[in-house]
Amino acid sequence: MTIYFLGGGNMAEAIAGGLVRQGGYQIHIVNRGAEKRERLAKSLGVAVSEKLPALNAEDILVLAVKPQDMQAACAGVETNGALVLSVAAGLSVNTLSSYLNDTRRIIRTMPNTPGRVGLGVSGLFAADGASDADKQAAEEVMSAIGQVVWLEDEAQIHAITGITGSGPAYVFYLMNALQEAALAQGFDNETARQLSLATFKGAVGLAEQGGEDFIVLQQNVTSKGGTTFAALETFKERKVAQAIGAGVDACVARSKEIAQQFEGGK
């Protein structure tokens, strides 16, 4: 079995890199750019080529090109029964199937950027042509870059895009806000960054270790009338939580709009 990557972008490199670190996989990356192929071959030690070789039924084809380039990239591709794993946002099973001679042995996944350091989370949805063995194979591939969550309905891809797919950007937004607040309090740039980064890292570590609800952890460091209480009351007045929820809603709605564009507005 060989795991082929159609496209050598950041996510393909992250997944392939995770698989290389685990060991035991034959990996082949297909990319049009010669310079990129040379770099991937050197950094990952994997096979590379400009064109996709002939596939076998036991192979896995990871579709990792940009959604707008997918149809052209799939032109002439014969899956020959291989399992197709797509990381392309906005392209439904039906759309992908139409690009690949109606194969239904497809699993869609929505990973996120922390997968580049092995701390990602990926939502997976299996089409009706994928077997339990296919699901296990896809889970093994995506587990190379972090956690895996299975989705029962393809529409949930939009929801997980709004939570984990785009979620790291929300965290970086808040990290930057705390850094800016530290600067406003007189700290220099390096210290302000360090304070924000350490605060988020420590809070996540504490939450993982204890397993308590986030609201309980919040209450544990909040004394009524105290300093933390003053900050949280301000957040409530400014409706920060509602704003985050509205942002997630907007992300999910945009994900649905993009999917409709690829499906011809259907």
* Residue 53 among known ligand-binding residues: no
Instruction: Look at residues 153, 149, 106 and name the one whose alpha carbon lies nearest to residue 131.
Output: 106
Task: Give the number of other CB atoms < 10 A from CB of residue 255.
Answer: 21
Cβ contacts of 241 within 8 Å, gap of 6 or more: 235
* Residue 6 among known ligand-binding residues: yes
CB 104 within 8 A of CB 84: no
* Residue 236 among known ligand-binding residues: no
* Residue 64 among known ligand-binding residues: yes
What element of type H or E holds 27? strand 26-30
* Residue 9 among known ligand-binding residues: yes
* Residue 8 among known ligand-binding residues: yes
**What DSSP designation does 32 have?**
S
* Residue 1 among known ligand-binding residues: no
| Rounded Cα gap, residues 157 and 165, in angstroms | 9
* Residue 80 among known ligand-binding residues: no
* Residue 111 among known ligand-binding residues: no
Match 């029962």 to its residue by tokens.
Answer: 152
Bind-site residues = 6-11, 64-67
Q: Which residues are annotated as a binding site for NADP(+)?
A: 6-11, 64-67
